Amino acid sequence: MSSQICRILLPLLLSLHQVFSLDVTVPTSPPSAAKRIYRDHVSYSLEQDRWLDWVGTTSRNQFFINTLENIRKLSGLPPQIRVGANTEDRTNFNPNIEFVQLTYPSPTYNVPYPEATTVVVGDGYYAATRFLPKNSIVTWGLNLGHNNLTASFLMARSIAKTFASSAIAEAEIVLDAIEIGNEPDLYGNNGFRQPGYPMTQYIREWTAMANNVTSVLGISRSSRTKFIAPSLVYSTRDTTGWSPQTMFAQGMLDTEPGSLIGIISQHRYSGSFCAGSPALLQDLMTKATIRGNISFHNPDIAATKARGLEYVLGETNSFACHGAPGVSNVAGAALWTLDYLLYASHAGIDRIFFHQGIGFKYNFVQPATLYRDPVNANPLPTPLAPHVQPQYYAAIIAAEAIGPSGNTRIVELSVNDPRIAGYAFYEGQTLVRAVFIESTAFFKQASAPGTRRSAHIDLRFPNASLPPRTMSVKRLSVSYSDETSGLTWGGISYETSDALPSGAPTRETIEVSNGFNIQATEVVMLSFAN
């Protein structure tokens, strides 16, 4: 066969093999493997230096607040907010500063929006917490890197003053946790401590600082506020070094402040862009990769739950150092995010905090006007107004799938395909929704017309006396996996000037017995009715 004939026939042959059928079993009541999924399972970790850019200084940043309220309207709670990360250990307090003073390094191609090297804050910095939506739940970070007991006490006192204010009380905003130090397992490499810094020394220093701030923050066994620790980022399985298991074995929970730890936090990224290494979108999206990154934490989850503590990914996202261009900031990342966060819940992770910063490529939301290109640091000819990015749609879909009942459980469905993931959601004993994610990357330039992979899925309900008869179908519409905009969820776009939803809702109602189709780079949510 000539090469010319091959070029003619190949697209046709591919198109003939793109549609295939799958049977998926869906239990009508929650199986024993089903896990509770919290309404605020999807939460945010905010880089501490630019906190005021997110919420506002003297008035609220309405764009960002709208993005939180969109989620609250679907799930009943806004995302929890953790304020900390790298600049947590670069923050100090000066009572003579009203808000914040910042010092920044020069931007680079790899890091167009670097974190501040020094952050000095005053009372107004913490007081801006009042701009968050009603019922917000917050974690604040304290600087352990400098190991300055006086500075940490002054910050803690200012935080306590904020949460004792009438504005916070009226908004019913809660201080959930205090985090002392960010990623202490890296202190021996980043200059905060000597090389080889051991966990034994960390526990001594953490305990001294926690003792210093417990009283002023009102943390006790009966208080809502607790400590969250150890916020590790280690990426190798070594339970004899930096790990929750070592922390438990070395008696951190046996100290008085250690007994006030209620949450174990670890950090996780799927890769790194710190050296500008290229990344492949399909690698990020692939179902097996997602499960491998989450299952890495299975021993930590089990050890934590055995102690009766919550386990969270207190900081996570696609690629460390603010994301990889063409991967973290495109539509395919929305599908990665959704599968990642849902599988995390199924694995027993109580909450997942996606890290965000001003100008970071992996942001769900860019809440402030940008004057440099977030991909390459070049000056922008026209400033880039606040906007949502593709990953935000994952938070919207998750919020709708979880719903506002506060009694939702999730289980992963067995789908015999390496590119399709499925999850069922139950309220009480009732199957209410299912989400399917087709994670084949469908690229703008590399995909021939008519070759978009598609599957037909038939649902099976074994031993069900009254299986669902009808279902409504919503779809995340994505033209190509490498698009940076133009997504819609059930016909609705959040890519508006105020982040409020726009468009005409689209939803199909079909017989369950007919099954449904799902194509590459698509999400489908099914809502069931008898």
Looking at 354, 380, 402, the residue that finishes a domain is 402
Residues 281 and 310 grouped into a single domain: yes
Cβ within 8 Å of residue 236, ≥6 positions away: none
Q: Considering the domain boundaries, does residue 493 fall inside one?
A: yes
Strand partners, 232: 266
Report the 3 state secondary structure along 87-110. HHHHEEECCCCCCEEEECCCCCCC
Residues 385 and 494 grouped into a single domain: no
State the Cα–Cα distance between residues 3 and 356, nearest whole angstrom.
49
Residues 71 and 20 grouped into a single domain: no
Q: Is 452 helix (H, G, I), strand (E, B) or coil?
A: coil
State the Cα–Cα distance between residues 113 and 325, nearest whole angstrom.
13
Q: Render pLDDT for 379-405 as a digit per residue (tens, 0 to 9).
A: 999 999 999 999 999 999 999 999 999
Phi, psi of 315 (to 5 degrees): -160, 125
State the Cα–Cα distance between residues 364 and 389, nearest whole angstrom.
5
Strand partners, 111: none
Q: Within a 13 Å sphere around the CA of 11, how many CA atoms are in the beta-carbon half?
A: 9
Q: Considering the domain boundaries, does residue 489 fall inside one?
A: yes
Residues 337 and 416 grouped into a single domain: no
pLDDT at 451: 84
Torsion of CA 287, 290, 293, 299, to 10 degrees: -80
Looking at 343, 378, 402, the residue that finishes a domain is 402
pLDDT at 13: 39
Cβ within 8 Å of residue 187, ≥6 positions away: 145, 193, 197, 202
Residue with structure tokens 């994670």?
439
Can you give the CATH number for the domain in which 525 is found?
Answer: 2.60.40.1180
276 closest CA partner among 234, 326, 317? 326
State the Cα–Cα distance between residues 228 and 467, nearest whole angstrom.
43
State the Cα–Cα distance between residues 88 and 47, nearest whole angstrom.
8
State the Cα–Cα distance between residues 444 and 450, nearest whole angstrom.
13
Phi, psi of 68 (to 5 degrees): -75, -40
State the Cα–Cα distance between residues 464 and 300, nearest whole angstrom.
36
Q: Which segments within 57-160 are labelled E, that is strand? A: 81-84, 91-93, 100-103, 118-121, 137-142
Looking at 345, 372, 402, the residue that finishes a domain is 402
CB distance 390 to 484 below 8 Å: yes
* End-to-end Cα separation, the chain, in angstroms: 54
Residues 376 and 490 grouped into a single domain: no
Residue with structure tokens 């201080």?
175
User: Maximum CA pair distance of the chain?
Assistant: 81
Which domain does 514 fall in, by range?
Answer: 15-34+407-529
Q: For residue 229, with 0-12 CB atoms within 10 Å meaning exposed, 13-18 middle and 19 or more buried, which class applies?
A: buried
Phi, psi of 84 (to 5 degrees): 180, -125
Residues 386 and 436 grouped into a single domain: no
Helices 331-346, 287-295: inter-axial angle, 10-degree rounding: 40
pLDDT at 404: 97
Residues 258 and 190 grouped into a single domain: yes
State the Cα–Cα distance between residues 281 and 388, nearest whole angstrom.
20
Helices 199-217, 149-163: inter-axial angle, 10-degree rounding: 40
Residues 101 and 27 grouped into a single domain: no
Q: 130: which 2 tokens?
A: 């009042």
Residues 445 and 397 grouped into a single domain: no
pTM summary value: 0.95
Q: Is 321 helix (H, G, I), strand (E, B) or coil?
A: coil
Q: Considering the domain boundaries, does residue 9 fall inside one?
A: no
State the Cα–Cα distance between residues 19 and 452, nearest whole angstrom.
9
Q: Considering the domain boundaries, does residue 8 fall inside one?
A: no
| Cis status of the peptide bond prior to 468, with omega within 30 of 0 | no
Q: Considering the domain boundaries, does residue 7 fall inside one?
A: no
Q: Considering the domain boundaries, does residue 5 fall inside one?
A: no
Can you give the CATH number for the domain in which 332 is found?
Answer: 3.20.20.80
pLDDT at 18: 56
State the sign of the Cα–Cα–Cα–Cα dihedral 254, 257, 260, 264. Answer: negative
Alpha-helical (H) ranges within 187-297 are 187-190, 199-217, 244-249, 281-285, 287-295
pLDDT at 15: 40
pLDDT at 10: 36
Q: Considering the domain boundaries, does residue 2 fall inside one?
A: no
Residues 229 and 301 grouped into a single domain: yes
State the Cα–Cα distance between residues 358 and 353, nearest whole angstrom.
16
Please give the chain's pLDDT, 530 residues, in tens.
343 333 333 333 344 445 789 999 999 999 999 999 999 999 999 999 999 999 999 999 999 999 999 999 999 999 999 999 999 999 999 999 999 999 999 999 999 999 999 999 999 999 999 999 999 999 999 999 999 999 999 999 999 999 999 999 999 999 999 999 999 999 999 999 999 999 999 999 999 999 999 999 999 999 999 999 999 997 677 666 899 999 999 999 999 999 999 999 999 999 888 887 778 999 999 999 999 999 999 999 999 999 999 999 999 999 999 999 999 999 999 999 999 999 999 999 999 999 999 999 999 999 999 999 999 999 999 999 999 999 999 999 999 999 999 999 999 999 999 999 999 999 999 999 999 999 999 999 866 667 899 999 999 998 778 899 999 999 999 999 999 999 999 999 999 999 999 999 999 999 999 999 999 999 999 999 87
CB distance 430 to 403 below 8 Å: no
Q: Render pLDDT for 5-25 as a digit per residue (tens, 0 to 9).
A: 333 333 333 444 457 899 999
Q: How many domains does the chain have?
A: 2
Phi, psi of 39 (to 5 degrees): -60, -30
| Cis status of the peptide bond prior to 230, with omega within 30 of 0 | yes
| CA-to-CA separations, 512 to 202, 412, 426, 507, in angstroms, rounded | 56, 19, 17, 14
Residues 200 and 338 grouped into a single domain: yes
88 closest CA partner among 113, 42, 125? 125
pLDDT at 240: 65
Residues 182 and 141 grouped into a single domain: yes
Residue with structure tokens 């701009």?
131
Q: Considering the domain boundaries, does residue 127 fall inside one?
A: yes
